[in-house]
Amino acid sequence: MDVQMWTYTIVGITFLIYIAIAVWAKAGSTKEFYVAGGGVPPVLNGMATAADWMSAASFISMAGLISFMGYDGSVYLMGWTGGYVLLALLLAPYLRKFGKFTVPDFVGDRYYSNAARTVAIICAIFVSFTYVAGQMRGVGVVFSRFLEVDITTGIIIGMCIVFFYAVLGGMKGITYTQVAQFCVLIFAYLVPAIFLSIQIANNPIPQIGFGGAGADGIPLLEKLDMLHKDLGFAAYTSGSKPMIDVFAITFALMVGTAGLPHVIVRFFTVPKVRDARISAGWALIFIALLYTTAPAIATFARLNLIDTVSNKSYEGLPNWFKKWENTGLLAWMDKNGDGIIQYTGKNIGGGDAFEGSKPAFTKETGAHGEPLLSNKPNDNSNELYIDKDIMVLANPEIGGLPDWVIALVAAGGLAAALSTAAGLLLVISTSIAHDLVKKQLNPGISEKSELLFARVAVAVAIVIAGYFGINPPGFVAEVVAFAFGLAAASFFPVIILGIFSKRMNKEGAIAGMLVGLIFTAAYIVNFKFLNPGMNKPEFWFMGVSPEGIGTVGMLINFAVSYVVSRFTPAPPQEIQDLVDSLRYPKGAGEAVEH
């Protein structure tokens, strides 16, 4: 069988498994739809949490970012792993003890205000739609190459699959589907990594192999540094980002993680608080399997790519190169007419090297039928454009691995994207059906009607998410970084202060969320949409990029919340007692009389 037949077979089998699980785990009540009935075993919940956590950004885009950015790409690795630890240890146990399974529900009850609940609903929907756009783009990238359809068609296929098991099974169906998706995605990530580690470093453990030496005896990272310098790129192991931006992006990803509503709800799908802690520990182990492998995948992919295409004849390139060209995610323009691919970071003719951003394609083609990168006839700089999102997916093909491994990676990418998309879509439907309709608009609504509202909300959300997937604001990890920044600027301060500050009141919470969200969203929109030409360090506020501005938004949120809460009435005594009960066991500190 060729790659396409293997892909149809493996992806088809995994989709049938997901659908079968959705039918088996069909939700029959709102509790099953929202929190899987609260009866998921800790180990399985850990797998589902890991799948929910490891989105298309983790599977498809993170290693691609590290592959191109080198040391600078480590901000995503540090931010997302550190963020999960922060969530699991600092927030999850308290939120589980509070007993509210959505962030808007926590905000509404802790801040004794439907207005605060409404603002939290808006924030949850805004963050979730931004995040889910990245997942849908990931689905489109996979389908466009391996099923040889255009990205729009691929996204529509993915929408149909998610629609089936999210609308039918709710959180119960999604949870058990995500257990299967975790098994698929982690197997699909580790198998090619092990193959390539043996092939390149003669070591079956990728985490060790990429730090070792190749067949020529030169350490792989040292070799990559030399190749980068020879081609005119910055050294792979050196950083070029301003340190303040490194800190800002890492911190925004960390605290944004802690405010992501689709992960928080996972701690309510287990029977007890103790089980929530155990499942968090299992999830960390499962997540570490992928995250410790990502730098190795990035290194192997970069080495193989340079060896395969740089200074090579276009006519002699393997078939995979031309197939990825057909997706529009890989492009070459023969600027000097020699038929050789010049892949370089040097701008010899004053043109732009297209290392970091997608060029404006024209309808013309070059001498070899390739799409043109620019209209600058005298530009003899970089001739190759590579979308960061293809690196993990193309890696097995570049390395010459068996066809079934290539197809397996496609199935893994789809599992990662669809699992997180489903969790996010459920957050959107829960925010609308439970937090808005039941808690505010129609408290007397029957369980059957609420369940219908939730399913309709999922269906509508899938359509909107599909639109954003077809028209994304950036590559996968970049879009996801925006979502984390928005979560950091809106949710993290009100959750932290809601748990650890008795004096924090509804006025402070509402003002903080609104100011943090508006500031962060406006900054991102300005530099990514309104004035993309100014998206450079010299124009950024204090040198902080749009990916890291969530950290500034979070600090503004904290400051506004604190100031407003100090100039407005303190919360009612029962709310202050509630905050105390969250952090201290019943009877703690009481003297024991004998």
8 Å CB contact between 241 and 229: no
Q: What is the pLDDT of residue 553?
A: 94
Q: Kindly state the tokens that stand for 322.
A: 């031309």
> What is the pLDDT, as a whole number, of residue 261?
66
CA-to-CA distance for 406 and 358, rounded, in angstroms?
A: 25
218, 303 in Cβ contact below 8 A? no
CA 379/CA 56 separation, integer angstroms: 35
Is residue 381 within 8 Å of 346, Cβ to Cβ? yes
Q: Could you tell me the two tokens for 314?
A: 């276009």
**pLDDT of 555:** 95
Half-sphere exposure (CA, 13 Å, Cβ side) for 393? 35
β pairing state of 330-332 and 384-386: antiparallel
Q: Do the Cβ atoms of 42 and 275 come closer than 8 Å?
A: yes
* Burial class for 584, CB neighbours closer than 10 Å (0-12, 13-18, 19+): exposed
Q: How far is CA 187 from CA 193, 392, 432, 496, in A?
A: 10, 14, 36, 36
- What's the confidence (pLDDT) of residue 186? 92
Q: Per-residue pLDDT for the chain (594 aa), expressed as one digit of tens each?
A: 778 788 888 888 888 887 787 777 665 555 555 555 556 788 888 888 888 777 777 888 888 888 888 888 888 888 878 877 777 777 777 877 777 667 788 888 899 888 888 888 887 787 777 777 777 777 777 777 777 777 788 888 878 877 776 666 566 667 777 888 888 889 999 999 999 999 998 999 998 988 888 778 888 999 988 988 888 888 888 877 888 988 998 998 888 876 666 777 777 777 777 787 788 888 889 988 999 999 999 999 999 888 888 888 888 888 888 888 877 778 887 777 788 888 887 544 333 333 444 444 443 444 334 444 444 444 456 778 888 878 888 889 888 888 899 889 888 888 877 777 777 777 777 778 777 888 787 888 887 887 788 778 878 888 887 887 777 655 555 667 777 888 889 888 998 999 899 999 999 999 999 999 899 999 988 887 788 788 888 889 888 988 899 999 999 999 999 999 999 999 999 999 888 887 765 544 444 343
Q: How far apart are CA 251 and CA 249, in angstroms?
A: 6
pLDDT of residue 359: 44
Name beta bridge partners: 386. Answer: 330
User: Rounded distance, CA 115 to CA 128, Å?
Assistant: 20
For tokens 């205000």, what's the residue? 113
Which residues, including other chains, have CB under 8 Å from residue 72's CB and lie 6 or more apart? 239, 240, 241, 246
Q: What does DSSP assign to residue 591?
A: P
Side chain identity, residue 71: Y
In 3D space, the residue among 506, 60, 511 whose CA is nearest the CA of residue 297 turns out to be 60
Contacts of residue 537, defined as CB under 8 A and 6 or more positions apart, other chains included, come to 242, 245, 543, 545
Contacts of 552 (CB under 8 A, 6+ apart): 248, 489, 519, 520, 523, 541, 542, 544
Type of residue found at 288: A
pLDDT of residue 353: 38
Q: Are 518 and 557 in contact (CB under 8 A)?
A: no
Task: Tell me if 300 sits within 8 A of 336, measured CB to CB.
Answer: no
pLDDT of residue 352: 36
Q: Where are the domains of the chain?
A: 3-282+404-478
Tens digit of each residue's pLDDT (9 = 90 or more) over 155-183: 888 788 777 766 665 666 677 778 888 88
Amino acid at 78: M
> Residue 125 and residue 207: Cα distance in Å, rounded?
37
Kindly report the backbone phi and psi dihedral angles of residue 25, in degrees, each rounded to the nearest multiple of 5, phi listed first: -100, 30
